[in-house]
Amino acid sequence: MAKDSNGTLCSKCGERPRAESHKWCKECKAEAQQGYDSDRERMIEARGFNAGAMAFKASLIASMLGSKGFHPSGMVMLGEIANFVDRMPLPKYQPT
Ligand SMILES: [Zn+2]
């Protein structure tokens, strides 16, 4: 890492002068902030996606268990289907 004689170069890139009272330059600070913002956005989106997938599963199970008229002799079969759905892994989050 390059350092000028006064030690005022950015400690990240080592090329540009540090921003006032910070060890990185403005460009490195902006780059880090952008990365933080997009990571945070992805995390929020993933949390929303997972909540939606879990709500879907819960609603599917509730509707299967609640529909006694769905199949006259199908309570065991419906229970098996509900268990199957409950054990299904959530779909993988795919960032767009
Ligand atoms: Zn820098």
Domain boundaries, the chain: 3-87
41 CA → ligand 1 middle, Å: 24
Is the whole-model pTM more than 0.75? no
2 CA → ligand 1 middle, Å: 11
Per-residue pLDDT of the chain (96 residues; tens, 9 = 90+): 444 445 699 999 999 999 988 999 999 999 999 999 999 999 999 999 999 888 888 887 777 776 654 555 555 677 777 787 788 777 777 676
26 CA → ligand 1 middle, Å: 7
22 CA → ligand 1 middle, Å: 10
- Write the DSSP assignment of 29-62 as a string of letters: HHHHHHHHHHHHHHHHHHHHHHHHHHHHHHHHHH
- Cβ(54)–Cβ(90) under 8 Å? yes
